[in-house]
Amino acid sequence: MHEPLGGFSPDTFRRRRERTLAGLDDGVLVLPAAPELFRSRDTEHPYRPDSELFYLTGVVEPVAVAVLRPGEREQFTLFVQGREPEMELWTGERLGPDRAREVFGADAVHPISELEAKLAPLLGGPRSIYYRWGASDRTDRIVLDALARGRARGPRKGTGPRAVIDPGEILDEQRLIKEADEIALLRRAAGITVDAFRTALGATAPGVGEWELEAILDGSFRRAGADGPGYETIVGSGKNACVLHYVQNGSVLTDGDLVVVDAGAALGLYHADITRTFPVSGRFTGEQRAVYEVVESARAAAVAATRPGATIAGIHRATEEMMTAGLVELGVLSGDVATLVGEGKHRPFYPHQTSHWLGLDVHDVGDYVRGGEPRVLAPGMVFTVEPGLYFRPGTPESERFAGIGVRVEDDVLVTATGCENLTGALPTAADQVAALVGRAS
């Protein structure tokens, strides 16, 4: 179970709530906890707290609801599960309302059993409800009832909600710029992931199972104090490397093949996300190296281009051009690079974006386009750089490279003067990566 507040100071969450309350105007924000998910019948998945609820409150328990209302005596109201010793025997100790008030600094805390009775009045006055539909069936019904009452009474009384707005309209911009404590967690998650990759690279050899590398990575994360993998670890060797989200990890590594490993530790709910591609035997073939060098050159150029004032779209466009120029050099495409990019001729081989935001979520929140214009990078933003080329068997124009998949990914923090490569301690140059293979300490 995650610790309340996740190691952050209570003041961190108070400041975040103050910023959020200032932006709500005549609105109310309702954030339910993430649902508990089940593998089958009564067998649960490990619980993962809701990112927005945690960001504003530090709450990590299930079956909770936070409400923020500006201008009220009780601006922060929290609903949590009551103490129940019989259930706590199975699921662990709960905070309960009294302890929750002390830990989270809420103005009012109620048992979740009182949600229907007490939440409805909190929604009766504001004009807008910031709420994510589908977050909770129970809360959905209460919000829907509030809207119905507002529609019926609003024209005469001039009060009551008339609209539901996605909370991301207020929270995403805050979360996009990481605070110092968040950056520290991201650095630690990156360092843990780098060390785990080194261990997995050292254990790589023909005959090793993809699942064995997965186990080494995931076990290394936990041994280093992380929560575990932040997403399903990908270990794709041979043609499996051409399946972007391959997670079966069920094949045996074969001499002469490449293996793509995409994994990241989650630490205090914050994520790293690294991909490296390396030869099972420790030696690239000529075709493998040629493809690898195209991808690695594009990755290095994208990292170098990351600075305040640049745009995510600009970095992706430059990466597309470099990758397309590489495909021309490889003899896979022919023609003018700009024309080929405009026609999307590279997409069968490079089908994904170069970057995604990184933070509390692996694919973190934040618009890539604002007001019709590409997002301009600013200090505190964290995102991935991950170009890749994939040559699926059966594509005639690339038969020479059939079955080769290469992706190289780093995590970068935009700084005041450029960027910090959070995962740069793990080599990406072909010879340096190959030299780590099979060198278990």
Please give the positions annotated as active site. 42, 245, 262, 273, 352, 356, 363, 386, 390, 407, 409
Question: Alpha-carbon distance 162 to 318, whole Å?
Answer: 44
At 410, phi and psi to the nearest 5? -125, 165
Which positions ≥6 away from 24 have C-beta within 8 Å?
A: 68, 69, 70, 126, 130, 170
Distance linking the first and last C-alpha atoms of the chain: 33
- The number of residues making up the chain comes to 441
Q: Which of 78, 77, 75 is nearest to 22 (CA)?
A: 75
Hey, how many other C-beta atoms are within 10 angstroms of the C-beta on 309? 9
Give the residue among 206, 204, 211 at the shortest CA–CA distance from 248.
211
β-bridge partners, 109: 78
Residue 318 — φ and ψ, nearest 5°? -65, -35
Q: Please tell me the distance from the alpha carbon of residue 186 to that of residue 171, in angstroms, as a whole number.
A: 19
**How many beta carbons lie within 10 A of that of residue 251, not counting itself?**
18
Burial class (CB in 10 A: 0-12, 13-18, 19+), 364: buried
Q: How far apart are CA 329 and CA 7, in angstroms?
A: 50
Query: What residues contact residue 36 under an 8 Å CB cut-off, 6+ apart?
Result: 44, 45, 47, 62, 63
Closest CA to 149 of 138, 140, 164, 159: 159
Taking the C-alpha atoms of residue 118 and residue 217, their distance in angstroms, rounded to an integer, is 46
**Residue in 278, 310, 299 with CA at minimum distance from that of residue 404:** 278
Q: What 3-state class would DSSP assign to 404?
A: coil
Collect all residues with Cβ–Cβ distance below 8 Å to 405 and sequence separation of at least 6: 236, 239, 240, 241, 242, 243, 258, 260, 277, 388, 389, 390, 391
Distance (Å) of CA 326 to CA 240, 293, 295, 330, 331: 22, 9, 8, 6, 9
